[in-house]
Structure 1
Amino acid sequence: MNAAVEEIDIAIIGAGIVGIAAAAYLVDAGCKVMVLDRTGICEETSSGNAGAFAFSDVLPLAHKGMMRNVPKWLADPLGPLSIPPAYLPKLLPWLYRFWRAGAPANYEASLAAQAGLMKLAEQEWASLMARTGASSMLREDGSLELYESNAEFKDALPSWAARDRFGIACRHLDKSELADYQPGLADRFTRGTFVPGWKTVSDPKDLGKAIWRHAEARGAAFVKGDVGLVRPTGDRVLIQLKQGRTLFAQKVLIAAGAWSHLLARQLGDVIPLETERGYNTTLPSSAFDVKRQLIFTGHGFVITPLATGLRVGGAVELGGISRPPNYARSKAMLAKARKFLPGLDPSGGREWMGFRPSLPDSLPVIGGSRSHPNVHYAFGHGHLGLTQAAATGRLVRDLVLGQRPPLDLTPFSAQRF
């Protein structure tokens, strides 16, 4: 007996923060939306991130400073950037594209596109949080980036100069000023940079749930299921769940994070997406009195005070979606955190790993399928999914409704590769 076939207007594949934000924008515009996900609302990568609205984080990952550090980092299996040796052959084409993205012309284009998306993201998050009743979850304490030597600080100055071109304010601090921004730091830190415009949220999973409650109250529906097939048929799109359920949608948005490129490939779009596997440990809030997000760029991780605990995490492991977690990485970051904050209590922590969908030029894919006008994409935000979700939701709404978006979407096209 054939499974029941259902007709829906707009199907969003993926219930992470990007998909949920898109759902909110679409239902606010009067659209009927169904969200499909194999687990639940913001239950995977969107649940365990560092909780930052990193609007000042406009530099592509392949910027000059990072490229210089890559060999050193790769030599440390528990350092800021790691590649499992067995995965390296599969990763080489992506790494070549990543290296090319650091060329001056490519770098400048990506920087400008990212800065434009970030400006829109800040505006749209303010609007989205206001109308979903989530504004109380916003924290505007700024961030503190820390350096262990004057040489490390000087190496960072070009990146701050690049941000300054886009109006991103910062204040460089001497060693004597650091305790005013974060008491209890180890003596090893010699300089710091305070970014007043950096924002965080009280908990990223809670924020995603709040946005979904708004969307659901306006008619958005959720279906738990693992999408195995997406295939345009005439003027509709067939969606087949691995559990056997079949749906037909007038329009589809693929926002399935690190799995999105697998679905895009079914539609003829080959997109070089890789997975930044991020790790963290969330400690009880009593572990240390952290005043604002602390960023340890030289070590590739952050410490964020959340309403639900103190989150220690970050780093990048380029290892795909099928390898088992390597929690030695979260333990290594926690050990460093104890050195950087000597009074930190490391007990009672919860370890976690998430999959960040990453493209070589650090820009997401936001736009249409090559051959199917009723299929759109919104994925590949890397470690900026939370930050850019509201902007992406706004842009998706404009695309689906045939309205002119506020940004040129050419840099974000799925066909740019």
Structure 2
Amino acid sequence: MTTVVIGAGIIGTAIAHDLQRRGRQVVLLDRDRPGMGASFGNLASIAVTEFMPASRASVWRQIPGWMLDPESPVRVRPSYMPRLAPWFLRFIAASRPAKLRELEAQGAALCARALDDTLELLRDTGLDDQISDEGCLSLYADEAEFAADRDHIALLERFGFAHEVIGRQAIKALEPELSDKIGLAVRFPQNRSMKDPYRLVLGLADRFTALGGRIERGEVTGFTRSDTIREVVLKDSRRIAADEVVIAAGAHSATLAKALGEPVPLETERGYHTQIMAPGITMKHSIIWPARAFMVTPTAGGIRVGGTVEMAGLAAPPDYRRAKITVKRAREALPNLQCEAFTEWMGHRPALPYTVPILSASAKTRGLFYATGHGHLGLTYAATTARLMGDLITGARPPVDLHPYRINRF
């Protein structure tokens, strides 16, 4: 039984490893080397508390104002607005209270498993030294900022996610470099960080090939199928025979799904980071400042700063002003932060208007499966996705009901 997994980011590589371990003969296929897409530059967090749907009315009502602000946390390039309009209408529809409650429960079901599944995967692959012991701090200048984020905290309380409100003295004891502007914080002990998310993908790919899996490079241009998937067709005219195919190509999955007759409302949420290798400070925890819309994580041998979102499609060139905005804001929290020996990066996160991913068998073609649309929670959901998709593909019963994550829910 040959299974082709298309997409060698953290999601596809984790799925390929899981299936190879279960006895499938797996080909992991990507146009680039493993881990070179969004998995290269994510903010390295197992963000189990971050499942609040983005489609809240409190978010989309700010978008017209954000359009006029070049430093807004979300930027839509005006030239891309006509293309984005159908996606945005679905995004607004997903803000209905009943829909939000559904999406919250679906996100919580995945996030509740995320850390334990990640730790199990790391132990099983000998990569358990790749995760930090520290959690994440969510920062607030004052009670007013904290009150503005109260919906998030209430959501965590409703689903039983661990968190602790701490004051200024406790904050400084945990992270002495934080500014005195920070009046209180919420500590998320389960939101642990990877020491280098790119090297994690490489390590997992090595474990996959050690089990007998095969990695191929090539650009997919089509498929041979009837009622059953048969072949993956590449741009260089190669054909890879397949009994099963898993589409896990991140933001590029939309093109493949459309070619397979199952179009999905998947957009690229372009993310930026600045990797600072000489920051002049040390940190143990990752930090988020919701009111300033940035995150800082100690990872990859330095400190990584990111958090901004841009909607501009797959083809537009990067606008690295977005990365500079988050560094400027990070210095409000970390006044001694130096930006020396740094690089800037942009990558494509696969965003659905309904926040929760697609984890599904095809509704049209036997042997075809989808695992995409993880948004900014790709690393968080990777181990859980691999477990659930492995069960689904091999006929085992997944520990989570996958009906809400089906391909044809749209």
**Structure 2-normalised TM-score?**
0.96
User: For the residues of structure 2 that align with 1:157 and 1:321, how far apart are their CA atoms?
Assistant: 35
State the 1:186 CA deviation: 2.6
Show the 5 A alignment for 1:32-47.
32-47=25-40
State the 1:144 CA deviation: 0.8
State the 1:64 CA deviation: 4.6
Show the 5 A alignment for 1:328-407.
328-407=321-400
Match of residue 175 from structure 2: 182
User: For the residues of structure 2 that align with 1:142 and 1:72, how far apart are their CA atoms?
Assistant: 33
User: For the residues of structure 1 that align with 2:250 and 2:157, how far apart are their CA atoms?
Assistant: 31
Show the 5 A alignment for 1:230-241.
230-233=223-226, 235-241=228-234
Q: Note if 1:25 corresponds to 2:31.
A: no
168, 190, 215: which is aligned to 2:161? 168
Q: Note if 1:302 corresponds to 2:295.
A: yes
266, 287, 304: which is aligned to 2:259? 266
User: For the residues of structure 2 that align with 1:413 and 1:290, how far apart are their CA atoms?
Assistant: 40
- Between 364-373 and 58-67, report the one with greater CA deviation: 58-67
User: For the residues of structure 2 that align with 1:275 and 1:243, how far apart are their CA atoms?
Assistant: 26
Aligned length: 410
55, 68, 72: which is aligned to 1:62? 55
67, 70, 80: which is aligned to 1:87? 80
State the 1:379 CA deviation: 0.5
Match of residue 284 from structure 1: 277
User: For the residues of structure 1 that align with 2:313 and 2:280, how far apart are their CA atoms?
Assistant: 32
Q: Specify the SS of the correspondent of 2:243.
A: strand
Match of residue 121 from structure 1: 114
Change in Cα spacing, 1:413 to 1:234, as seen in structure 2 (3 Å) is closer
- Between 44-53 and 281-290, report the one with greater CA deviation: 281-290
Q: Specify the SS of the correspondent of 1:330.
A: helix
Q: Specify the SS of the correspondent of 1:366.
A: strand
Q: Note if 1:110 corresponds to 2:97.
A: no
1:335 partner letter:
K
Contact 1:12 1:33 in 2 (8 A): yes
- Between 191-200 and 31-40, report the one with greater CA deviation: 191-200
Q: Percent identity?
A: 37
Match of residue 3 from structure 1: none
1:392 partner letter:
T
User: For the residues of structure 1 that align with 2:126 and 2:64, how far apart are their CA atoms?
Assistant: 46
User: For the residues of structure 1 that align with 2:169 and 2:124, how far apart are their CA atoms?
Assistant: 42
Structure 1 gap ranges (5+): 1-7
Match of residue 4 from structure 1: none
**Structure 1-normalised TM-score?**
0.95
Q: Note if 1:154 corresponds to 2:136.
A: no
Structure 2 gap ranges (5+): none
2:369 partner letter:
H
User: For the residues of structure 1 that align with 2:300 and 2:22, how far apart are their CA atoms?
Assistant: 32
State the 1:77 CA deviation: 2.1
- Between 397-406 and 227-236, report the one with greater CA deviation: 227-236
State the 1:121 CA deviation: 2.3
**RMSD of Structure 2 on Structure 1 (CA):** 1.5
